[in-house]
Amino acid sequence: MDNLWLKIKIWTKVVIISVVVIFLLIFVMENANKEITIWWWFGREVATTALMLIGCMFLAGVICTLLVRVAAKTMRQVRELKQHNANLQMRQDVAEIKTKAAMLQTKPPITPSDAANKGN
């Protein structure tokens, strides 16, 4: 029974991949020679094929996606750097405060015998 399900699974994948490949071949054949005109800038239009336009748009989408990811990663790194610098500054401030506190002269602790002597 397990062997039957494995065969069904494999043949299902083969059929789906075959249908996708056949669709892509028909898509390329139908759009390879279709001429279209693209507005590029004011007074400028470019004539190209639909397939070339689709390929360029796909490439532009990939490039834009990469740029957005790089920008997001850079912003995250800048945020982490600011947080790291703030933590470092806070540690330096605490160390400075501790150093200043250690340099302060402190009164010796009052013992009961000292309190009795002051009263006399």
Q: What is the dihedral of CA 19, 20, 25, 26, to 10 degrees?
A: 70
Q: Would the pLDDT of 84 be above 70?
A: yes
Rounded Cα–Cα distance for residues 92 and 98 (Å): 10
Identify the pLDDT of residue 33.
86
Average pLDDT over residues 74-79: 96
Identify the pLDDT of residue 40.
81
| Domains of the chain by residue range | 9-101
Q: Would the pLDDT of 70 be above 90?
A: yes
More confident residue, 6 or 77: 77
Identify the pLDDT of residue 30.
86
Determine contact, residues 31/54, Cβ cutoff 8 Å.
yes
